[in-house]
């Protein structure tokens, strides 16, 4: 994918069988520094536009998201594949200059560590007191399964909430309406879905062989104005259409960031067609 | 005056859901004060009798075709409109559209519900991310409250769910939560064990 450049894969380092969890921490440091390297061509990095987006999802949420999208069996995940995908997402967040909790990097390091262990023939693997199971993936899988159970229970509670929300009394519970910062995204879609959609746009741009026109002065506020102009209140557009006619990667990035800002400010809401995966934006009518 | 109508009036007028025992007590109390012969009969009204009357009331309503039904929540009985009328109600009062909680908020809430009382640090270890924002939100909604402090360094706050949480999600008691038996007991990483769990710490311990 795009700039993922899996030469970033630090697992080639510790593969000599001397990985330990403390190496994982060193790897995390590497990952963090590495990102500065290949993103300097992005206007988002030159005048670093910081999207003040609080990510409420954690690394386990991202892993489960990847597993679900890939439709793989959680008991038999390909560590190589999931690590690659995971790192690609971390890369994209960095490209967009969206801050991620340190835990995301710790998980990245953990994935690389597990991957390196899996690459070694069993008799060469160093004894690791922390891992009883022969399968180096096991601890992580166990963690994911337990976490998923809570997610499922939470979703089930959410369904109950929805059903009960259809029943009204004449003494209603306090009518709560969330403030703008909290109602950032719609219910159906999370930040990973948006990142994934953005990655697809980036991929198509790179594959399209469009030469980059480097004369590129778009800023995020330019694009905010642009988006507000082309999408009137009450109107809906497809996510992909926002990027029509874009002529550089930098422009793609600032367009996406502008969209995120407008969602945060509650001008736009997003929804995703569950079967086709297409994302739509709708401009809110503010009365 | 019929008993069934008194019960209906009480459930209708009460600002909070009301239990059958509360109804029985109120009726007995008032009947005794009044001293009328008919009321005398109700002076010793039992909770069981009230429950039978409530059942009858519910049935009458269900068969009437009216858009209202009688529902028992965790804290008691209430009248609610039927689900199919929700869209009409929201057309009248758009602000009454319920703001559903986001998945991260629900998951944080679920962790608290299943593992209460629980500290913020322990929630964050499981979720792998800070929960300040969502915790603030679910507390604002009255779904979660502080229930004391943990006997740990720093005496961190302990979080619990509220009665409103139970009403909001139709949860009678904590065992009524989905998959309660497993999720209330399964071993989870905690802030304390994740500090102890790193290899260097363990080696140190063994040396001691």
Residue holding tokens 């062989």?
A209
Element (H, E) at B149: strand B144-149
Task: Compare all CA atoms of chain A with the CA of B125 and give the residue at the minimum distance.
Answer: A103
Q: Which is nearest to B113 in space by CA: B182, B183, B170?
A: B183
pLDDT per residue over A72-108, tens digit each?
A: 898 888 999 999 999 999 999 988 888 888 889 999 9
Min mean pLDDT across A15-24, A156-165, B31-40, B55-64 is at A15-24
Element (H, E) at B30: helix B20-34
Q: What is the mean pLDDT of chain A?
A: 76
Average pLDDT over residues B14-38: 85
pLDDT per residue over A52-63, tens digit each?
A: 777 888 999 999
Residues of chain A neighbouring B101 (CB-CB closer than 8 A): 158, 161
The answer to whether A164 contacts B170, with C-beta atoms less than 8 Å apart, is: yes
pLDDT of residue B114: 94
pLDDT per residue over B56-76, tens digit each?
A: 999 999 999 999 999 998 889
Residues of chain A neighbouring B81 (CB-CB closer than 8 A): 167-169
Is the CB of A103 inside 8 Å of chain B's CB atoms? yes
Minimal CA separation from A248 to chain B, in Å: 34
pLDDT of residue A273: 77
Cα(A252)–Cα(A260) distance, rounded to whole angstroms?
A: 13
Percent over 90 (pLDDT), chain A:
30
- A98 phi and psi, to 5 degrees? -95, 125
pLDDT band at A174 (very low <50, low <70, confident <90, very high): low
Average pLDDT over residues B123-143: 90
pLDDT band at A31 (very low <50, low <70, confident <90, very high): low
Q: Is the dihedral of CA B17, B19, B20, B26 positive or negative?
A: negative
Instruction: Mutation target for B interface from A55, A103, A106, A168: give the one with most B CBs within 10 A.
Output: A168
Given a contact cutoff of 8 angstroms between Cβ atoms, the answer to whether A104 and A59 are in contact is yes
Minimal CA separation from B38 to chain A, in Å: 31
Residues of chain B neighbouring A147 (CB-CB closer than 8 A): 126
pLDDT of residue A91: 92
Cα(B199)–Cα(B208) distance, rounded to whole angstroms?
A: 14
Cα(B102)–Cα(A84) distance, rounded to whole angstroms?
A: 28
Average pLDDT over residues A29-47: 46
pLDDT of residue B1: 75
Q: What is the largest CA-CA distance in chain B?
A: 83
* Phi-psi domain of B17 (left: phi exceeds 0; alpha: psi -120 through 50; beta: other): beta
Given a contact cutoff of 8 angstroms between Cβ atoms, the answer to whether A119 and A33 are in contact is no
pLDDT surpasses 60 at B190 = yes
Q: Is the pTM of this model over 0.90?
A: no
pLDDT of residue A11: 40
pLDDT surpasses 70 at B173 = yes
Residues of chain A neighbouring B195 (CB-CB closer than 8 A): none
pLDDT band at A45 (very low <50, low <70, confident <90, very high): very low
* Residue-wise burial string across B86-99, b where 16 or more C-beta atoms lie within 10 A, e elsewhere: beebeeeeeeeebb
pLDDT of residue A56: 83
Instruction: Mutation target for A interface from B11, B129, B131: give the one with most A CBs within 10 A.
Output: B129
DSSP lists the bridge partners of residue B70 as: B79
Count the residues in chain A: 287
Closest partner CB to B100 (pick from A129, A147, A158): A158
């Amino acid at each position: 994918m795009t700039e993922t450049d899996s030469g970033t894969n630090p697992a080639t380092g510790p593969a000599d069988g001397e990985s330990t969890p403390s190496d994982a921490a060193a790897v995390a440091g590497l990952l963090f520094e590495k990102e500065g390297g290949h993103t300097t061509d992005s206007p988002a990095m030159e005048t670093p536009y910081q999207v003040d987006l609080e990510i409420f999802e954690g690394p386990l949420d991202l892993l489960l998201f990847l597993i679900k999208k890939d439709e793989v069996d959680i008991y038999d995940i390909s560590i190589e594949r999931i690590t690659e995908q995971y790192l690609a997402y971390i890369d994209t967040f960095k490209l967009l200059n969206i801050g991620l909790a340190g835990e995301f990097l710790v998980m990245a390091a953990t994935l690389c560590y597990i991957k390196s262990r899996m690459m070694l023939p069993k008799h060469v693997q160093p004894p690791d007191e922390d891992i009883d199971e022969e399968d180096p993936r096991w601890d992580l899988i166990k963690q994911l399964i337990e976490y998923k159970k809570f997610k499922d229970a939470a979703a089930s509670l959410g369904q109950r909430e929805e059903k009960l929300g259809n029943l009204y009394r004449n003494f209603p519970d306090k009518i709560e309406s969330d403030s703008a910062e909290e109602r950032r995204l719609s219910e159906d879609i999370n930040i990973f879905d948006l990142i994934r959609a953005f990655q697809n746009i980036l991929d198509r741009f790179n594959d399209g062989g469009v030469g980059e026109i480097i004369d590129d002065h778009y800023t995020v506020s330019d694009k905010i104005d642009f988006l507000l102009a082309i999408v009137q209140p009450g109107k809906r557009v497809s996510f992909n259409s926002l990027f029509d006619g874009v002529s550089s990667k930098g422009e793609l990035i600032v367009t996406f960031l502008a969209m995120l800002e407008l969602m945060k400010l509650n001008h736009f809401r997003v929804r995703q067609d569950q079967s086709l995966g297409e994302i739509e934006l709708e401009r809110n009518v503010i009365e | 005056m019929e008993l069934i109508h008194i019960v209906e009036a009480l459930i209708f007028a009460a600002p909070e859901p009301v239990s059958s025992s509360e109804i029985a007590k109120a009726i007995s109390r008032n009947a005794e004060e009044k001293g009328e012969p008919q009321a005398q009969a109700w002076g010793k009204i039992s909770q069981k009798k009230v429950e039978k009357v409530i059942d009858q009331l519910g049935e009458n309503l269900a068969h009437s075709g009216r858009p209202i039904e009688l529902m028992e929540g965790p804290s008691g009985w209430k009248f609610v409109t039927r689900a199919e009328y929700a869209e009409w109600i929201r057309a009248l009062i758009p602000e009454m559209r319920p703001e559903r909680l986001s998945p991260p908020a629900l998951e944080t809430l679920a962790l608290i519900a299943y593992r209460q009382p629980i500290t913020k640090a322990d929630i964050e270890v499981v979720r792998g991310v800070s929960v300040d924002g969502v915790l603030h939100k679910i507390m604002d909604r009255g779904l979660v409250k502080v229930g004391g402090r943990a006997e740990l360094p720093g005496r961190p706050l302990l979080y619990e769910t509220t009665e409103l949480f139970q009403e909001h999600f139709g949860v009678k008691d904590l065992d009524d939560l989905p998959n309660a038996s497993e999720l209330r007991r399964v071993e989870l990483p905690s802030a304390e064990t994740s500090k102890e769990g790193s290899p260097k710490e363990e080696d140190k311990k063994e040396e001691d």
